[in-house]
Amino acid sequence: MKTHTIILFILLTINSYTLFAQPHLKQQGTATQLIVDGKPFLILGGELGNSSAASFQDIERIFPKLQRMGLNTVLVPAYWDLIEPTEGKYDFTLIDKTITQARENQLKVVFLWFGAWKNSMSCYAPLWFKQDYKKYPRAYTQAGKPLEIASSFSNNVLQADNRAFSQLMKHIAAVDKEKGTVIMVQIENEIGMLEDARDYSKEANALFNAPVPEKLTSYLTKNKKSLHPWLLEQWGNKGYQTTGTWLDLFGGDENPAGRLASDEIFMAWHYAQYVEQLATSARSIHNIPLFVNAAMNSRGRKPGEYPSAGPLAHLTDIWHCGAPSIDILAPDLYDKGFTNWVAQYHLPNNPLFIPEIRLSDANGVQAFYVFGEHNAIGFCPFSIENGSNAPQAPLVQSYAKLKELMPIITQYQGKAAMNGLYFDGDNKERILYKDDLKITCRHFFTLPWDSRATDGSTWPTGGGIILRLNKDEFLIAGSGIVIEFEKTNESKAIDASQLGEDGFLNTGNQHRKQTEWKGGLRAGIGTVDEVKVNSDGSFTYIRRLNGDQTHQGRHVRIGVDDFSILYVRLYEYK
């Protein structure tokens, strides 16, 4: 009996450790959090360039640099053609090297399955797969041209892809299940059709002319009130029918130009169904978070000009219905309109994760913004190995401060206590209201301090996080921001832009409106302290900021070349 008790204790200990280590998603308020090593975790990451994990030498060279840059996570391609160069024979040496180097450099890993599709194309499928196009058929254009795109309607394609992916998941589970170095996996990469909005193979054409599956029509009916407006409009234009072909339900039979919508919805459904089968296999082997990523439908392009039918914002309902085992639909961001794109992907049923964004000096404040405004799970500039690891590089500074802030940010996620700020030369101001408090947030260059504000220089991006800890306590962090506090009943007699560096008017005899004061409390800045955030969420005082650093109590500010964390206490007076 005693021996059995000891064995049971050991098994329970092992199981408890495995559960503790295994990454998973958890809800906190309105936020979805990634739990890693038993604690909420923000991915301060970067994605390697497509060919940067294809050799031992590159991995050994790059990973120490990523640690110096302050990353805690690296997104790494897992190449089907290198994993299964000969059908049925697998080589995981690059996977093992990635995991080993990550552990040595205190990094977590997100693997990106470059399987049947990478940026729509099947360029990472093994040569034996690509050569046997009769067994593993291609997608076709409407004109009958075969494409370098494997057909998602082929069971042989699915089985080969799924078999290799399952072997990858089995290997990850075998070498990492108890360590938890691999925290998420992406299935395929920027899946989507090019040249035409859908595949025109014989198999695809037959299914396009068949009835829309009842699983999808039931989902649309059940979720009608919350469907994406674009999808609701397409469906509504045909009278919200629940039986019929894709053209019957989503239009285009009477208008060839409108057919693109039906084509894209049809193709999205079948891509999602395909991905779901890989996701189901992964869940049965090693149940860690899974996501898919999308190339954006930007620049006025039509389906097929961009990768049609991927997990795009207007197709989220199709993907959620077709691939329910996928946790996150994620945007890859390379175009203008950053704040608009991220807002489209932060939905009640879709947490925001950015696996790819163009590498730039703006990344530092962009990271602050998505964590503060959208409770993001993570942020990852692309081709991260080409970024700077200099201590003063914006992303290095940003990630250092965000690492400090992680226990605070994760504590307040989903509790309506945080906002993100993001400014540039076109978007210079945002006003927030908290109870009877008006908070005016601006770009640092709205002040006259820096000659670059007015000499024609391009304004760098500025932004950060403002977090209300208590009624009169705030934590403000980021770069290139100015924040003023006032009661909502106050009316300023003069705008701060009219003041010189000494706090007095730039010129005399300026007309300013005098408003009769009607009593009531005013908001004042009591103290502003630069602080360090400790691992337990407590603060360590660095220095008091006052006088010139707060413009004699008028505002709180952080310069465009700095990243700081400020603890602010307000007070009331009359």
Query: How far lies 90's CA from each of 114, 170, 278, in Å?
Result: 15, 12, 18
Question: Average pLDDT for residues 122-128, to the nearest whole number?
Answer: 98
**Do the beta carbons of residue 46 and residue 384 sit within 8 Å?**
yes
pLDDT at 20 over 90: no
- pLDDT tens across 300-311, in order? 999 999 999 999
Rounded percentage of the chain residues whose pLDDT exceeds 70: 91
Which of 268, 259, 245, 274 is CA-nearest to residue 314? 268
Helix (DSSP H) and strand (DSSP E) numbers for the chain: 15, 23
> Which residue has tokens 């301060």?
44
Instruction: Determine the pLDDT at residue 388.
Output: 98
Q: Report angle CA 461, 475, 489 to the nearest 5 degrees.
A: 90
Instruction: Determine the pLDDT at residue 440.
Output: 98
Instruction: Determine the pLDDT at residue 502.
Output: 61
pLDDT at 548 over 50: yes
Query: How far lies 116's CA from each of 151, 152, 161, 187, 305, in Å?
Result: 9, 9, 6, 10, 20
Domains, the chain, in order of start with CATH, read 18-230+270-405 (3.20.20.80), 419-506+517-573 (2.60.220.20)
pLDDT at 507 over 90: no
- pLDDT tens across 361-419, in order? 999 999 999 999 999 999 999 999 999 999 999 999 999 999 999 999 999 999 999 99
- pLDDT tens across 171-211, in order? 999 999 999 999 999 999 999 999 999 999 999 999 999 99
Largest interatomic CA distance in the chain: 95
Instruction: Determine the pLDDT at residue 514.
Output: 60
Provide the 8-state DSSP code for 451. Answer: G
**Backbone φ, ψ for residue 26 (5° rounding):** -145, 145
Instruction: Determine the pLDDT at residue 489.
Output: 85
Sheet with strand 556-558: strands edge to edge: 429-434, 437-443, 481-487, 556-558
pLDDT at 118 over 50: yes
Residue 415 buriedness (CB in 10 A; 0-12 / 13-18 / 19+): middle
Residue 268 buriedness (CB in 10 A; 0-12 / 13-18 / 19+): buried
Model-level pTM? Answer: 0.93
Give the Cα separation of 190 and 310 in Å (integer).
7
Q: What is the mean pLDDT of the chain?
A: 93
For residue 570, the cross-strand partners are 525
Provide the 8-state DSSP code for 432. Answer: E
Give the Cα separation of 107 and 399 in Å (integer).
13
- pLDDT tens across 246-293, in order? 999 999 766 665 689 999 999 999 999 999 999 999 999 999 999 999
pLDDT at 8 over 70: no
Weakest mean pLDDT among 12-16, 356-360, 366-370, 430-434:
12-16
How many CB atoms are closer than 10 A to CB 215?
A: 11
Weakest mean pLDDT among 126-130, 482-486, 488-492:
488-492
DSSP H stretches of helix in 226-291 = 229-236, 246-250, 259-285
pLDDT at 500 over 90: no
How many CB atoms are closer than 10 A to CB 141?
A: 18
pLDDT at 213 over 80: yes
How many CB atoms are closer than 10 A to CB 392?
A: 10
Instruction: Determine the pLDDT at residue 519.
Output: 73
Question: Average pLDDT for residues 428-455, to the nearest whole number?
Answer: 95
Instruction: Determine the pLDDT at residue 520.
Output: 85
DSSP H stretches of helix in 308-359 = 316-322, 338-345
Which residues lie closer than 8 Å to 182 by C-beta, 6 or more apart? Answer: 23, 99, 108, 109, 110, 111, 172, 176, 288
Instruction: Determine the pLDDT at residue 72.
Output: 98
497 — pLDDT class (breaks 50, 70, 90): low
Question: Average pLDDT for residues 454-469, to the nearest whole number?
Answer: 96
DSSP H stretches of helix in 286-393 = 316-322, 338-345, 363-374
511 — pLDDT class (breaks 50, 70, 90): low
Region class of 551: left (phi > 0), else alpha (psi between -120 and 50), else beta: left
Give the Cα separation of 160 and 84 in Å (integer).
10
Give the Cα separation of 34 and 41 in Å (integer).
6
6 — pLDDT class (breaks 50, 70, 90): very low
**Backbone φ, ψ for residue 8 (5° rounding):** -60, -40
Which of 37, 548, 102 is CA-nearest to residue 288? 37
DSSP H stretches of helix in 291-379 = 316-322, 338-345, 363-374
pLDDT at 17 over 80: no
448 — pLDDT class (breaks 50, 70, 90): confident
Instruction: Determine the pLDDT at residue 252.
Output: 79
Enter the tokens of residue 388.
Answer: 């700077």
Question: Average pLDDT for residues 87-92, to the nearest whole number?
Answer: 98
